[in-house]
Structure 1
């Protein structure tokens, strides 16, 4: 039993190190990712250029790493903002009740009632597009499901006998909150990790449609959008490798979230 738990922890640590290495490597490559050399343009994958080169002779491996780094940074920022917003609104809704609960519920229904991509596009355009525009769009649209989960967990905890007894004894709401928040930690951390793949995919989708990051940034969405014009000429590597890299990062984040949920959940923590 302990061996399986230890193995899962080691795999989670290895996945975190891999993602951190990809983010750091890509962050150090923006200038070289833009370096054009027309003497080597349109080269297929080879030992010197494992991902090939594009129509300007740019190294697709370096462009892909730079794009992944940018996507991971956007995903990290938006996931953190979205998770904190979900925790704050879900907690306020469950503990305060009344009109606060009604207002939060109305806001959740409003956000979830608008098509996701459309709402991200509108917020991104309203915030001036670019890095901060797409970050605001993704962060302000991904908190609803986690907020409902936080609210449900707190409502279940409110009916616990120990909490009812504490309230009758006059324990303040602030002190009760300090005891309640640790119970939300497993769900919160799992929800935070699972926000990453959604945030990264939506950032890439909005950028692919031309409403996200600017074309001068080596984002995965920009790379895929530019490669569409060259697929019919047989340059399949321009979209294949960046697309596989994006899918790999998304699946890795999803796997980490599921493993973390199993580790933190009381029913499966010792399996």
Structure 2
């Protein structure tokens, strides 16, 4: 490196767009790898085998085994897929609610707009986790309670973004022309506004999913989420807390790192897509 500096040579620097592509490909590969592993892994690793309990990580058991002899690698991958399914379902439901609220607040007049703004402020005034806990408790926990709770607590921020986009589109010349030709609000919303909002909705979905996954894991960790009989990451981490003092460190370390990797991959992908659809960064390096 010193020799290169003497002659004035420098290593090539990746273009801003190339860095976005590279990080996005890495994030997608991580998500695809988790899905492929979940399909290929045999469910026998979830069965109890007392002859192989509390084994250290090895080639046969990369994440070791737990106090019942269950393979922790299999449990972790299955738990990640379970969290991913819950996160995607909850995120999609939240995006649908945000889309409806944003369109209603922008298209249906000032009275509806005031009501939507009041409802949005009401949900934003209470921390997500508190509201999610209350909803999950009322609905009896489980995947249904978490999905409904996440859907009802994560729509306000995205709804405001959609509302602002719709208000901007309403002043566009093609929308004004359609309105002058007597087109209905529904026709304008479905033909002009919704297609324009698809990139924002996609970015919103991908950014909501990691929050939904973390909230699902946290609610499950305290016993108000998924069933203890399912290999959820929150359940794995909750059970492993009782065995950390016994030196079984791998029970919590590897599932926690894998959960962090899954959440970080989605967050990275969402941030990159956000930069792609933002015209301000079209010529960034």
TM-score (norm: length of structure 1) = 0.90
How far apart are the structure 2 equivalents of 1:56 and 1:94?
Answer: 56
Instruction: Report the counterpart of residue 263 of structure 2 in structure 1.
Output: 250
Q: How does 1:119-198 map to 2 (within 5 A)?
A: 119-177=131-189, 178-198=191-211
How far apart are the structure 2 equivalents of 1:128 and 1:257?
Answer: 31
Contact 2:105 / 2:113 at 8 angstroms: preserved in 1? yes
Deviation at 1:12, TM superposition (A): 3.6
How far apart are the structure 1 equivalents of 2:283 and 2:202?
Answer: 18
Deviations 1:61-89 (A, max 9, x none): 00100100100000110111111110111
Q: Which residues of structure 2 form unaligned runs of 5+?
A: 1-14
Deviation at 1:162, TM superposition (A): 4.3
How far apart are the structure 1 equivalents of 2:279 and 2:194?
Answer: 16
Contact 2:23 / 2:268 at 8 angstroms: preserved in 1? no
Contact 1:25 / 1:69 at 8 angstroms: preserved in 2? no
Pair 27,118 (structure 1): closer, same or farther in 2 beyond 3 Å: farther
Deviations 1:66-116 (A, max 9, x none): 100100000110111111110111111011122211221222122222221
Q: Which residues of structure 1 form unaligned runs of 5+?
A: none
Contact 1:26 / 1:66 at 8 angstroms: preserved in 2? yes
Question: What is the number of residues matched between the two proteins?
Answer: 271
Pair 27,136 (structure 1): closer, same or farther in 2 beyond 3 Å: farther
Contact 1:23 / 1:70 at 8 angstroms: preserved in 2? no
Instruction: Report the counterpart of residue 65 of structure 1 in structure 2.
Output: 77
Match status 1:218 vs 2:231: yes
- Larger CA deviation: 50-59 vs 179-188: 179-188
RMSD: 2.3
DSSP-derived class of the 2:54 partner: coil
